[in-house]
């Protein structure tokens, strides 16, 4: 029998009924008396100066109640305090097609829609910057004039660890490849929606489908100019987020301001096309990966360069840039590592965090290159990886602390399950099998704004009937975070998850949690709830022990009973014990909090991105068949093993593995957020080729448990990591099937067919296009960066 | 959600009444080549699965919609194998694809109807609407906002260029209905009714190589029925290239039908969709097959003919090379399938 009564059990999620039947109350379901409907006017230009905005015709239109523009909210904002370059609505300039310029509130949606065409905006079009190369080189066109960096560079970072030059010198062979990962978007089922209501007493409430109610709370204060104490943000259940609802958005500010102006509730719900413009999705990244290996395959040095196409604004871009480099070191032994990352601005919707945030693209490059190395060494790609694993309880060359590490077990599991060694390299032409490993963080080691406070806080209340309420600022985005918190509280207090009520995502009711991003909730909020519930557990145990006349360490809690371990018949119900505890101690409310430990990173500028209290690990095997005549790649099966520390709820972990694998599958095979002259080429679910249930492969999810020493009951993340290995596994399987290396995504039938017809052995980028001598541009960039760094040191 | 523009709805109770209403509203004088698609003020609607999304995107902005829901038959009628079949234009794609006679005698049609989009759309979409489906183009099937940003094109604004090929004198939007190549391969005719009376048109005559004036019938002519000749001796099949296993329009659609006389091909038809502005009956392919034993050489010749007939442009998903190549692969596969089964 397991030591747990709730943890590890295959129980239904606490909010499953609402999610399955559609009765969950999403933001767009909210209807308030006298509510107005808002809509955003968006820029039809990729890059233009706003000369004049005249909303008088719209205001005069029957049914229009209020209009606002950028001038009404001139405060800069953005998710990362150090790189705020956005406005609630565009001020002076628009920077991509779809950039919000003005907002209307009207009595109904049709009127709001009609009124948009009555807002007169005069633009002075500017030349748009649309590619990484242009962004690096065009000094004459600046998307953000005051960025303080050359051309359209948003950020460039340079890190070096160990003896890189020496590593390459001693290498038996140096692999030198370019890769390109195409941009993709999250496409959550629920489009973004928000309802704001400003009351007569000067208090503002915003219901919104956000992953980050706390960060949004801060930005609302800043932009709206009213104290945070008068603002309440309620994160409604998100109908999917995947990172796409982690920024403060125009419609949220507009809803608030228009409600403040009209003293009526205002609702904004984006249409599907607008979600493609709001974006904040996966960055397109051009990558240059050089890896030195010894004669028997040990890695001697890695130099990785990434060029990120960031789109028009910062978003999380500074973190994304670092993330493309940071986690390269945590899977396999790297004695020396150099990383150069550059993120540029372009006139396209801003990129940001999407499931796997910044680590997905380099992982694709690395795992594809390892496949090639293993092939040259004549080694099975799983055996090769197993040979070079980074050990558990170690430090990486870039200073990251590793504790539990289950990549080896994951590889073993997928090997056994698929009988990989019997198939790889031995299937008939057109059939292939491929493998890849990866890792992810269980929550970012640092918050996005500098502070010493907990990352996650929770309070737990036990009522007189034995009911338990958990209050935590986390945002339920469908990933099951409410359920995780319920499981932790129930296990601690010996009740069932159905006895637990979770109040999440409400900045007024719940203690701060930083939000549902970076796969941090299970680990951090789980630990906070564990601590809070643990404190009440102690009180309940003491009260019951006194009553039963046995020592406290003989008291157990399970199945709503508090009993004597030595004589389980001797005991009482949890409710009775709770009454005893409350009689003795007063009201049963406790708090708990969590903050990652300090010693988990190195000490250098840029060391803040990458550390986490625990890394999750995963390995995936893809089996594909390629139609040699039409180029159609069918992924027959994905087998993925994931080290989640401990599965608090196994079906929820399996669900995350499956969902992540399917998302990765879509990115590998079809999805692309692409543009034609600045205009999104496929801003609809018909043309953006999200896989349907008819396409998704057969899937086997395997849970690997390493019982992390610091996770709640040993748990680590399961939300993002499982996406990462799927894409390179598919690319490697395609290689196994047809002998063509896909060093770029997506692997579409058209590309496969083209490669087969032209007898290509590789499809991928050749490097930065040499048209305008980007090497010179990069030299210039590095020269100015060096100069700036030097200046900083001097001053 | 995108909103529908405001419009009025007429719901006539019979085909006659519908014809009268359309005449009274002057639907027959409309010419999208002159007014652009949004300039058409009176439109018929059957299942609405094409019309309503296009209205939401403001590709269409009719003042009046004439609903055909009550005016059209939804029946599939077929007697013995020696006679043909007639399908009321109001029959849904689901009912067509599930109909036992269609499945057994007109396999290509059952398959094509069953491959349209999703179950939900097949439950609403009609065969009449599929036959009259608007042509498609990824510069046109976009929202009003998107097209404003782009600057529009000939199909909505006749004075503007075609974005796909700026020197093209005509719109290159793509014929995209799945059932049409199947119906062409099966030798279908359609009955067309207007206030002036009724006539029968070979399905092939219904279309024109012009993305705007893609139908040869007037906008007050109602397709009331699709008729199929006797299927005795014929075998048929349909292959569709789309990006995903559901939801997507064809980017290549190929139907093939053969009638064997002993070991020889007595008659054959190969038809294509999604590779030009009109569906194409590939006569050269039929010629290559007739009299042959459906041997590999004949199939190859037919595939080559289909390849030549396909003229895809870069205005759908996929690439031109991929789609052209797939036409010949599909032709080969379809004909081999008909030979071997
Ligand atoms: C997401 C999506 C995917 C789709 N995928 C496919 C696909 O894969 N394959 C495919 O073929 N189609 C597809 N369609 C288009 C459409 O669903 C089908 O073609 C359907 O059969 C249209 O029939 P309807 O009755 O809904 O037509 P409607 O929308 O009612 O009408 C379509 C056109 O035909 C005219 N019309 C309708 N009935 C008649 C009549 N009896 N006489 C004269 N004119 C008439 C209308 O005026 C209009 O111009 C898709 C649509 C959507 C929205
Ligand atoms: S083919 Fe040309 S004219 Fe026709 S819809 Fe497309 S862009 Fe417009």
**A20: exposed, middle or buried (Cβ count in 10 Å: 0-12, 13-18, 19+):** exposed
How many angstroms does the Cα of residue A634 sit away from the middle of ligand 2? 32
pLDDT in tens, B218-276: 999 999 999 999 999 999 999 999 999 999 999 999 999 999 999 999 999 999 999 99
DSSP B206-260: GB-S-SSS-BSS-TTPEEEEEEE---TTEEEEEEEE-SSSSSPPPSEEEEEEEEE
Q: What is the pLDDT of residue B293?
A: 96
Whether B194 contacts chain A with CB within 8 A: no
Chain A residue numbers touching B325 (CB-CB < 8 A): 630, 753, 757
How many angstroms does the Cα of residue B41 sit away from the middle of ligand 2? 21
Q: Does B3 sit within 8 Å of A109, measured CB to CB?
A: yes
Q: How many CA atoms lie within 13 A of B306 on its CB side?
A: 36
How many angstroms does the Cα of residue B314 sit away from the middle of ligand 2? 10
Ligand with an atom nearest the CA of residue B209? 2
How many angstroms does the Cα of residue B218 sit away from the middle of ligand 2? 21
Residues B307, B327: contact at Cβ < 8 Å? yes
Q: What is the pLDDT of residue B340?
A: 87
CATH 3.30.365.10 intervals, chain A: 17-22+454-594, 285-446+602-763
**Nearest CB partner across the interface for B322, out of A682, A683, A753:** A753
For residue A496, whether the previous peptide bond is cis, meaning omega lies within 30 degrees of 0, is no
Give yes or no for residue B171 CB within 6 A of ligand 2: yes
Q: How far apart are CA B327 and CA B276, in angstroms?
A: 12
Chain A residue numbers touching B319 (CB-CB < 8 A): 750, 754
- Given its phi and psi angles, is residue B30 left (phi above 0), alpha (psi -120 to 50 degrees) or beta? beta
Q: How far apart are CA A377 and CA A293, in angstroms?
A: 10
Residues A63, A292: contact at Cβ < 8 Å? no
Q: How far apart are CA B82 and CA B316, in angstroms?
A: 41
How many angstroms does the Cα of residue B176 sit away from the middle of ligand 2? 14
Q: Scanning every residue of chain A, which has its alpha carbon at the shortest distance from the alpha carbon of B151? A: A44
> Where are the alpha helices (H) located in chain B, listed in sequence order?
15-24, 32-35, 51-56, 93-98, 100-105, 107-115, 119-124, 127-131, 144-150, 179-185, 283-289, 296-309, 320-340
Nearest CA of chain A to the CA of B329: how many Å? 7
Q: How far apart are CA A669 and CA A661, in angstroms?
A: 12
């948009």: which residue's tokens?
A: A116
Nearest Cα neighbor of A340 from A115, A156, A88, A108 is A156
Chain B residue numbers touching A113 (CB-CB < 8 A): 3
Q: Scanning every residue of chain A, which has its alpha carbon at the shortest distance from the alpha carbon of B333? A: A629
Three-state DSSP at A685 gives: coil
Pairing of β A299-309 and β A337-344: parallel
How many angstroms does the Cα of residue A600 sit away from the middle of ligand 1? 60
Q: How far apart are CA A5 and CA A336, in angstroms?
A: 46
Q: What is the pLDDT of residue A777?
A: 56
Beta bridge partners of A259: none
Contacts of A149 (CB under 8 A, 6+ apart): A155, A156, A784, A785
Beta bridge partners of A48: A94, A125
Q: What sign does the dihedral B172-B173-B176-B180 (CA atoms) show?
A: negative
Q: Scanning every residue of chain B, which has its alpha carbon at the shortest distance from the alpha carbon of A193? A: B1
The topology (CATH level 3) of A17-22+454-594 is Aldehyde Oxidoreductase; domain 4 (3.30.365)
The topology (CATH level 3) of A285-446+602-763 is Aldehyde Oxidoreductase; domain 4 (3.30.365)
Hey, which residues 240-259 in chain B have their CB within 8 Å of chain A? 241, 243-249
Give yes or no for residue B137 CB within 6 A of ligand 2: yes
Ligand 2, atom nearest to B313 Cα: 1
Q: What is the pLDDT of residue A784?
A: 52
Q: Does A113 sit within 8 Å of B245, measured CB to CB?
A: no
Chain A residue numbers touching B150 (CB-CB < 8 A): 679
pLDDT in tens, B286-341: 999 999 999 999 999 999 999 999 999 999 999 999 999 999 999 999 999 999 87
Cα torsion A177, A182, A188, A189 to 10°: value is: -120
Nearest Cα neighbor of A512 from A578, A394, A593 is A593
CATH 3.90.1170.50 intervals, chain A: 31-126+189-240+245-278
Q: What is the pLDDT of residue A776?
A: 60
Chain A interface disruption, residue of B146, B300, B303, B321, most A CBs within 10 A: B146
Chain B interface disruption, residue of A684, A685, A693, A758, most B CBs within 10 A: A684
Nearest Cα neighbor of A434 from A355, A359, A375 is A375
CB atoms within 10 A of CB B259: 16
Contacts of A469 (CB under 8 A, 6+ apart): A460, A461, A463, A500, A501, A502, A503
CB atoms within 10 A of CB B202: 12
Percent with pLDDT over 90 in chain B: 97
Q: How many CA atoms lie within 13 A of A751 on its CB side?
A: 20
Q: How far apart are CA A515 and CA A475, in angstroms?
A: 6
**Nearest CB partner across the interface for A695, out of B149, B245, B317:** B245
Cα torsion B170, B173, B178, B182 to 10°: value is: 20
**Nearest CB partner across the interface for B2, out of A271, A689, A692:** A271
The structure tokens listed for B171 are 């719109």
Hey, which residues 211-230 in chain B have their CB within 8 Å of chain A? none
The structure tokens listed for A293 are 């290996």
The structure tokens listed for A278 are 């709001």
Q: How far apart are CA A729 and CA A734, in angstroms?
A: 9
Q: Scanning every residue of chain A, which has its alpha carbon at the shortest distance from the alpha carbon of B149? A: A44
> Ligand 1, residues B49, B108, B225: which to mutate, most atoms within 8 A of Cβ?
B49
> Where are the alpha helices (H) located in A131-243, listed in sequence order?
132-137, 164-170, 213-224
**Nearest CB partner across the interface for B146, out of A273, A692, A693:** A273
Nearest CA of chain A to the CA of B4: how many Å? 8
How many angstroms does the Cα of residue A692 sit away from the middle of ligand 2? 28
- Counting as low any pLDDT under 70, the low residues of chain A are 1, 770-795
pTM, two decimals, is 0.97
- Given its phi and psi angles, is residue A407 left (phi above 0), alpha (psi -120 to 50 degrees) or beta? alpha
Hey, which residues 78-107 in chain A have their CB within 8 Å of chain B? 97
Q: How far apart are CA A489 and CA A647, in angstroms?
A: 15
Q: Which residues line ligand 1 (CB under 6 A)?
A: A 686; B 43-51, 53, 68, 72, 89, 93, 116-117, 121, 124-126, 128-130, 132-134, 176-178, 222-223, 247-250
Chain A residue numbers touching B248 (CB-CB < 8 A): 686, 689
Residues A309, A768: contact at Cβ < 8 Å? no
Q: Does A269 sit within 8 Å of B1, measured CB to CB?
A: yes
**A774: exposed, middle or buried (Cβ count in 10 Å: 0-12, 13-18, 19+):** buried
**Nearest CB partner across the interface for B318, out of A273, A682, A750:** A750
Nearest CA of chain B to the CA of A245: how many Å? 18
Q: How far apart are CA A377 and CA A362, in angstroms?
A: 22
| Helices A317-326/A360-377 angle, 10° precision | 20
Q: What is the pLDDT of residue A22?
A: 86
Architecture of the domain delimited by A31-126+189-240+245-278 = Alpha-Beta Complex (3.90)
Nearest CA of chain B to the CA of A187: how many Å? 15
Three-state DSSP at A499 gives: helix
């Amino acid at each position: 029998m397991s030591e747990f009564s709730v943890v590890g059990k295959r129980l239904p999620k606490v909010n499953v009924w609402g999610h399955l039947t559609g009765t969950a109350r999403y933001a767009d379901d909210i209807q308030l008396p006298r509510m107005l409907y808002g809509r955003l006017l968006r820029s039809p230009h990729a890059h233009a100066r706003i000369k004049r905005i005249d909303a008088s015709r719209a205001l005069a239109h029957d049914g229009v109640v209020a209009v606002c523009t950028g001038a009404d909210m001139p405060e800069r904002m953005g998710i990362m305090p150090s790189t705020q370059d956005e406005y609630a609505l565009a001020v002076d300039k628009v920077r991509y097609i779809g950039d919000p310029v003005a907002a209307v509130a009207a009595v109904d949606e049709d009127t709001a829609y009609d009124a948009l065409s009555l807002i007169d905006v005069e633009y002075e079009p500017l030349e748009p910057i649309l590619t990484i190369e242009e962004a690096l080189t065009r000094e004459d066109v600046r998307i953000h004039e005051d960025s303080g960096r050359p051309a359209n560079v948003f950020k460039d970072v340079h890190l070096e660890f160990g003896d890189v030059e020496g590593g390459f010198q001693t290498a038996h062979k140096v692999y030198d490849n370019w890769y390109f990962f195409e941009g993709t978007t999250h496409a959550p089922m629920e489009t973004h929606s928000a309802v704001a209501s400003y009351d007569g007493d000067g208090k503002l409430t915003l219901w919104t489908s956000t992953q980050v109610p706390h960060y949004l709370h801060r930005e609302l204060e800043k932009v709206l100019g009213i104290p945070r104490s008068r603002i309440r943000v309620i994160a409604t259940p998100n109908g999917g987020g995947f990172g796409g609802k982690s920024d403060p958005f125009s419609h949220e500010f507009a809803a608030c301001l228009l409600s403040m102006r009209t003293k009526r509730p205002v609702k904004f719900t984006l249409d599907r096309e607008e979600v493609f413009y709001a974006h904040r999705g996966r960055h397109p990244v051009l990558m240059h990966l050089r890896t030195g290996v010894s004669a028997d395959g040990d890695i001697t040095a890695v130099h990785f360069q990434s060029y990120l196409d960031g789109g028009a604004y910062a978003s999380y871009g500074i973190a994304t840039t670092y993330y493309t480099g940071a986690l390269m070191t945590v899977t396999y032994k790297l004695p020396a590592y150099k990383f150069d990352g550059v993120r540029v601005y372009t006139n396209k919707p801003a990129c940001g965090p999407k499931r796997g945030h910044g680590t997905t693209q380099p992982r694709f490059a690395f795992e594809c290159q390892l496949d090639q190395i293993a092939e040259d060494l004549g080694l099975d790609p799983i055996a090769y990886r197993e040979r070079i694993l980074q050990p558990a309880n170690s430090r990486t060359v870039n200073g990251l602390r590793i504790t539990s590490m289950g990549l080896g077990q994951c590889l073993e599991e997928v090997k056994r399950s698929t009988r990989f060694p019997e198939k790889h390299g031995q299937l008939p032409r057109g059939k292939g099998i491929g493998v890849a490993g990866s890792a992810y963080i269980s929550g970012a080691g640092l918050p996005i704004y500098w502070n010493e406070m907990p990352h996650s806080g929770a309070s737990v209340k036990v009522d007189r009937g034995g009911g338990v309420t958990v209050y935590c600022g986390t945002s339920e985005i469908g990933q099951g975070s409410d359920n995780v918190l319920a499981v932790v509280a129930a296990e601690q207090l010996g009740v069932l998850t159905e006895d637990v009520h979770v109040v999440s995502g409400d900045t007024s009711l719940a203690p701060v949690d930083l939000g549902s991003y970076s796969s941090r909730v299970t680990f951090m909020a789980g630990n906070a709830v564990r601590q809070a519930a643990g404190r009440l557990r102690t009180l309940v145990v003491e009260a019951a022990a006194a009553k039963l006349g046995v020592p406290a360490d003989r008291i157990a809690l399970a199945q709503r009973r508090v009993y004597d371990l030595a004589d389980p018949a001797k005991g009482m119900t949890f409710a009775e014990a709770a009454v005893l505890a409350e009689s003795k101690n007063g009201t049963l409310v406790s708090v708990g909090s969590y903050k990652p430990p300090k010693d988990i990173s190195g000490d250098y500028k840029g060391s803040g991105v990458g550390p986490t209290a625990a890394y999750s690990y995963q390995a995936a095997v893809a089996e594909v068949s390629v139609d040699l005549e039409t180029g159609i790649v069918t992924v027959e099966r994905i087998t993925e093993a994931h080290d989640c520390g401990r599965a608090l709820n196994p079906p929820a972990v399996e669900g995350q593995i499956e969902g992540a694998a399917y998302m990765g599958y879509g990115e590998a095979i079809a999805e692309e957020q692409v543009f034609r002259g600045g205009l999104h080429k496929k801003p609809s679910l018909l043309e953006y080729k999200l896989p349907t249930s008819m396409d998704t492969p057969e899937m086997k999810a395997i849970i690997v448990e390493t019982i992390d020493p610091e996770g709640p009951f040993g748990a680590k993340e399961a939300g993002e990591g499982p996406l990462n290995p799927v894409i390179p596994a598919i690319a490697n399987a395609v290689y196994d099937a047809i002998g063509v290396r896909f060093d770029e995504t997506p692997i579409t039938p058209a590309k496969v067919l083209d490669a087969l017809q032209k007898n290509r052995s590789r499809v991928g980028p050749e490097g930065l296009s040499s048209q305008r001598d980007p090497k010179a541009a990069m030299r210039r960039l590095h020269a100015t960066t060096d100069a700036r760094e030097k200046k900083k040191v001097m001053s | 959600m995108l909103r529908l523009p405001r419009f009025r709805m007429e719901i006539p109770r019979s085909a006659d009444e519908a014809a009268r209403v359309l005449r009274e509203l002057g639907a027959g004088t409309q010419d999208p080549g002159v007014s652009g698609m949004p300039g058409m003020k009176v439109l018929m609607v059957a299942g609405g699965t094409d019309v309503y999304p296009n209205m939401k995107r403001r590709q269409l902005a009719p003042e009046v919609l004439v609903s055909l829901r009550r005016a059209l038959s939804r029946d599939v009628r077929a007697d013995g194998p020696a006679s043909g079949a007639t399908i009321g234009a109001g029959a849904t794609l689901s009912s067509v694809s599930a109909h036992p006679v269609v499945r057994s005698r007109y396999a290509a049609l059952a398959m094509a109807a069953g491959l349209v989009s999703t179950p939900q759309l097949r439950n609403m979409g009609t065969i009449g609407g599929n036959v009259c489906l608007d042509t498609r183009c990824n510069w046109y099937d976009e929202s009003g906002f998107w097209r404003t940003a782009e600057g529009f094109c000939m199909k909505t604004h006749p004075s503007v260029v075609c974005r796909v090929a700026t020197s093209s004198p005509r719109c290159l939007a793509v014929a995209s209905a799945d059932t049409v190549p199947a119906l062409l391969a099966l030798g279908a005719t359609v009955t067309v009714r207007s206030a002036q009376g009724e006539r029968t048109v070979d399905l092939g005559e219904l279309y024109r190589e012009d993305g705007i004036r893609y139908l040869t019938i007037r906008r007050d002519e109602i397709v009331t029925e699709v008729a199929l000749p006797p299927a005795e001796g014929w075998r048929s099949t349909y292959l569709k290239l789309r990006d995903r296993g559901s939801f997507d329009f064809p980017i290549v659609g190929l139907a093939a039908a053969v009638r064997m006389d002993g070991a020889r091909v007595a008659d054959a038809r190969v038809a294509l969709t999604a590779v030009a502005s009109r569906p194409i009956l590939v006569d050269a392919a039929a010629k290559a097959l007739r009299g042959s034993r459906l041997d590999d050489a004949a199939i190859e010749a037919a595939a080559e003919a289909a390849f030549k007939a396909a003229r895809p442009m870069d205005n759908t998903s996929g690439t031109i090379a991929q789609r052209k190549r797939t036409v010949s692969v599909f032709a080969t596969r379809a004909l081999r399938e008909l030979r071997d089964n």
